[in-house]
Structure 1
Amino acid sequence: MDIELDREIQRNLFAFLPQLPDLLPDHEGWFAVLRDQRIAGLYAKLSEAIRSADGEFTDGRYSIQRITDRPVELGMFSGAVDQG
């Protein structure tokens, strides 16, 4: 994995985690697209999140996190997602 992309994912994760309590009530199970430590969009389906992120961030420098209270590692798409 690209070192800069890995750093972006880690920075996005640390910015995302404190926002989880506010996001969970209305968006549990949704997917957040993150760029530069900010939420760029919320999507009900992973495919929608990927399509939007790929279209908006053509350099590939973004991450996607599932909004859940159970952290699970999913590689480039996540650092805090639930596969279930």
Structure 2
Amino acid sequence: MNLQYVPTICPYCGCGCGMYLVLKDGRIVGEEPWKEHPVNEGTNCPKGKNAYKFLYSEDRLQKPLIRKNGTLKEASWEEALSLV
């Protein structure tokens, strides 16, 4: 099993905790705390421990949605951004 560890910063809050994303065949399969990182000193909160899971979630939105007549409908990026 060929695992790669990529250092990064947790995306959830402004603390800036360090973590390693664990990749297998180029796909993120886990995370590990960055033990030497000065902010979190080797620990990650529950949000940080699960930060990578949303990437492959079936519930993740991948296209813009706009409300038309009370119902959310898929839209192009151009259409959605024109409403902002």
From the CA coordinates, give the structure whose radius of gyration is larger. 2
Fold match by TM threshold 0.5: no
- The structure whose RCO (Cα within 8 Å, separation 6+) is larger is 1
TM-score by length of 1: 0.24
Counting helix residues as a fraction of each chain, which structure ranks higher? 1
TM-score by length of 2: 0.24
Counting strand residues as a fraction of each chain, which structure ranks higher? 2
